Amino acid sequence: MERREFVNKGIRLSLLLSLAGLTGSLLQNTFSDDYVWQIDANKCTQCGRCVTSCILTPSAVKVVHIHDMCGYCDLCGGYFKPETKNLTTGAENQLCPTNAITRTYIEDPFFEYNINEDLCIGCGKCVAGCDAFGNGSLQLQVRHEICVNCNQCAIATDCPADAFKRVPANKPNLFKGFSGEGADFKT
Amino acid sequence: MNKLFIYIFLLLNLVLLNSVSGQRFPKPEFEKGHTQPELHQSPPRMLVLEYVDVIVLIVALSIASYLIIKKRSRRGIFWLSVFSLLYFGFYREGCVCSIGAIQNVTLALFNPNYNIPITTILFFILPLIYTLFYGRTFCSGVCPLGAIQDLIVFKPIELKKWTQAVLRIIPYIYLSLSVLYAATASDFIICKYDPFVGFFRLDAKFYMFLLGGGFLISGMFIARPYCRFFCPYGLILNWLSRFSKYHMQITPTTCIQCRLCENSCPFDAIDKPEELNIQTDKIVLIRKYLLLILIIPSLIFIGGYTGRQMNNVLAKVNPTVQLAEEIFRYNIKIKNQKNKLPENIEVEGFKASGKTEKQLFTEASVIIEKFKTGGMLVGGFLGLAIGLMLANLSVYKYRKNYTPNKGECFSCGRCINFCPIKIENNIKIIIKKYEATQ
């Protein structure tokens, strides 16, 4: 038994040392902040998989409207279906399948568009419309207050555009043409 | 001709304007002083809370170790499991857990581009250190996956020894594959097929609920099926726990061989006393060891070879390889049928990325080549594991008392309640006095 104890002690010590070594080598490549998942809006193709691939229902991916980039158009490519004749808020005219975008009259000829994130399912139809006909002020982003921050994001594995990234939690957005902090633009 | 120039001028103007402002329609200047709504920010969880989680983990591990080794309290462990299930399970909703952290650590070791957060390192390393000192107290009442299974053990049945032995190979396969896929930055399979995280989040894919439900229902009869026969982290803890400094004991003093604890463990982790049975026939002994010396290396070799040959199959999990295959299949389809093909999201996505097919195919073939080494290592490791399991059969066992198997025991403390010897404070003093007289 004496000998067994001695061997055990030796193995225990060497295991502890190797754990310390492992921690040491990990610490060289460490990062005091946390990671969160985000969509790189530059890569996103609005394929619509964010709706179904997220482990949450509805998805943690929502459309974010960057008003700084919006042209406040009457004929909004993100709001109306392309074949729309009368620019009214009728359901048959709306691109959004869940009526998550509200259109409010501001002054002639400007309209403001706001997202109701509780209704948005993250399908990106409006994003595609705004990209095609407008300024691209509607962009899909992961909303971190909803996202449970899975160790492996299920959408990231399914994303055909490889647009999902781990980003540092202190810079949690990846907008296209917009830094996300102030009213500055990048082209 | 003039008109053409005007058009070209207008077009140039448009292009130039576009590149200056970056917008097709400039933002209007409102006359009636409309203020635009602010950008709706969604800040991630505060970093402080992540460190709070680590502190809760340390406190929970310490309490578990104290409860099981000093206090010997099953009831304490039970309430600690309830707490861990609520905190680490339902409040924190699973990620990052110590089990999944295996993959983050592997990814960080093999991929210098991935900076691993300190909290993840701590979640991985702390339970290992505690296990090295106090046994698998992490499993007893800190791990939320263990807790959810421990709380539903209803009528545990004893599995046949050989069934257990076969099922015990699964964690080796699971661990080696998850390390392989994390090292090649392919996928985090432990997280993907975590059966209980769906319950913690109250939201998951249907098949994951089915899997989790299956584990929970079978877990009522086969106690802790995930912990015993799947958990890759449990396997590491199993090996560390064998060399732990302290470990839970069934009896606080000396065993009186009353056999009350014999069937108390729902996990079959109590080793029964065994007679000393030394094989004296030297020829049989030599034959045994020769066989082992031959079997273990050949198992490693066979495993390594099979793993290497299976690199194509193994690499199919990698997203780059998957995409390359998809494109390849799509191209063949285009060649075979001339009419229009249905839209393929993967192909569209790939075209939008601006990479050429040749680049993709070379990338994929490099990855498949890497999987040759990876598959060989995985196969060799599995061969070694099975070989050592076989070797373990011929190790002499000699035990006087009923003892918990240090590797398999989850330190849940159920057996403690079955032991008739209880140490109350006054009895402790009596025993000390008795021992002094001896």
Give contacts of B132 with chain A, Cβ < 8 Å. 12, 15-16, 19
With 0-12 CB in 10 A as exposed, 13-18 as middle and 19+ as buried, what is B378?
buried
Cα angle B107, B108, B114; round to 5: 95
Say yes or no for a CB contact (<8 Å) between A169 and B45: yes
Give the E-state strand segments of A108-174 in sequence order: 110-115, 138-142, 164-168
Task: Determine what percent of chain B falls in helix, strand and coil, rounding each to the nearest 5.
Answer: 65, 0, 35
Q: What is the pLDDT of residue B425?
A: 57
B278 pLDDT higher than 90: no
CB A135 within 8 A of CB A72: no
Q: Which residue has the higher pLDDT, B245 or B282?
A: B245
For A142-183, the pLDDT digits (tens) are 999 999 999 989 999 899 888 999 998 888 889 988 876 543
Lowest mean per-residue pLDDT among A58-62, A140-144, B423-427: B423-427
**How far from chain centre, in Å, is Cα A54?**
11
Mutation target to probe the B interface, by most B beta carbons within 10 A, among A141, A150, A157, A178 is A150
**CB-CB neighbors (< 8 A) of A4 in chain B:** none
CA distance A70 to chain B (A): 6
According to DSSP, residue B87 is labeled: I
CB B40 within 8 A of CB A64: yes
Chain B contact present for A70, CB below 8 A: yes
Instruction: Give the closest-approach CA distance of B101 to chain A in angstroms.
Output: 8
Interface check for B243 against chain A (CB to CB < 8 A): the answer is: yes
- In sequence order, which ranges of B220-258 are alpha helices (DSSP H)? 225-229, 232-241
Exposure of A174 in the CB half-sphere (CA atoms within 13 A): 20
Q: Tell the residue number behind the tokens 């933002």, with chain if given.
A: B27
How many contacts does A have with B, using Cβ atoms within 8 A?
182
Instruction: Considering only the C-alpha atoms of chain A, give the largest distance between any 2 of them, rounded to a whole number of Å.
Output: 92
- Spatial separation of the C-alpha atoms in residues B192 and B186, rounded to whole Å: 12
Q: Is B345 on the interface with A (CB under 8 A)?
A: yes
Q: Which residues of B touch A23 (CB under 8 A)?
A: 121, 125
Distance CA B286, CA B72 (A): 45
Instruction: Return the axis-axis angle of helices B357-393 and B169-183, rounded to nearest 10°.
Output: 150
Tell me, what's the pLDDT at B18? 47
* pLDDT tens digits, one per residue of B330-375: 888 888 876 676 778 888 888 888 889 999 999 999 999 999 999 9
Q: Does A72 touch chain B (CB under 8 A)?
A: yes
On whether any CB of chain B is under 8 Å from the CB of A20, the answer is no
Partner residue facing B116 (CB), from A26, A57, A162: A26
Place of tokens 């076989």: B390
Helix axes B118-134, A2-27, angle to 10 degrees: 180
DSSP string, A17-77: HHHHHHHHHHHTTEESS-EEEEE-TTT----SHHHHHSSSSS-SEEEEE-GGG----SS-T
Q: Is the peptide bond before B420 cis (omega within 30 degrees of 0)?
A: no
**How far is it, in rounded angstroms, from Cα A61 to Cα B313?**
33
Cis peptide leading into residue A109 (ω within 30°): yes
Question: B237 in helix, strand or coil?
Answer: helix
The percent helix, strand, coil of chain A (3-state, each to 5) is: 25, 20, 55
pLDDT above 70 covers what percent of chain B?
Answer: 92
The single-letter DSSP state of residue B403 is E
Contact in structure between A124 and A50 (CB atoms under 8 Å)? yes
Q: Determine the residue type at B233.
A: Y
Nearest to B22 among A35, A149, A185 (CB): A185
From residue B161, alpha-carbon distances to B165, B396, B411 in Å are 6, 18, 21
Distance between CA atoms of residues A150 and A17, nearest Å: 31
Evaluated on CA atoms B293, B299, B301, B304, the torsion sign reads negative
pLDDT at B365: 95
Burial of B425 (0-12, 13-18, 19+ CB in 10 A): exposed
Full 3-state SS string of B311-327:
HHHHHHHCHHHHHHHHH
Nearest CA in chain A to B16: A187
Q: Show the tokens assigned to B27.
A: 């933002």
- Cβ contact A150–B45 (<8 Å): no
What's the pLDDT tens digit per position in B74-130? 999 999 999 999 999 999 886 889 999 999 999 999 998 888 999 999 999 999 999
Phi/psi of residue B270, nearest 5 degrees = -100, 125
Distance CA B414, CA B400 (A): 21
Which pLDDT does position B136 carry in this prediction?
A: 95
Q: Please report residues of A whose CB lies closer than 8 A to that of B40.
A: 64, 115, 117
Residue contact B34–A143, C-beta within 8 A = no
Cβ contacts of A162 on chain B, cutoff 8 Å: 319, 349, 353
Percent of chain A at pLDDT exceeding 70? 95
Q: Could A34 and B47 be called an inter-chain contact, meaning their C-beta atoms sit closer than 8 Å?
A: yes
Distance CA A7, CA B399 (A): 18
pLDDT at B428: 67
ipTM reported for the complex, 2 dp:
0.89
- Mind listing the pLDDT tens digit for each residue in A69-84? 899 999 999 999 988 8
Query: Hey, is the C-beta of B119 within 8 angstroms of any chain A C-beta?
Result: yes
In the DSSP assignment, the letter for residue A185 is B
The pLDDT, as a whole number, for residue B1 is 47
Q: Which among B295, B285, B293, B157 has a CA at the least distance from the CA of B225? A: B157
Q: Which domains does chain A have, with CATH numbers?
A: 33-168 (3.30.70)
B192: which chain A residues are within 8 Å (Cβ-Cβ)?
152, 154, 157
Between strands B116-117 and A30-31, the pairing is parallel
Query: Is A176 within 8 Å of chain B by CB?
Result: no
The residues facing A38 across adjacent strands are A165
| Chain A residue numbers touching B23 (CB-CB < 8 A) | 69, 71, 135, 185
Q: For residue B34, give the chain A residue with the closest CA.
A: A106
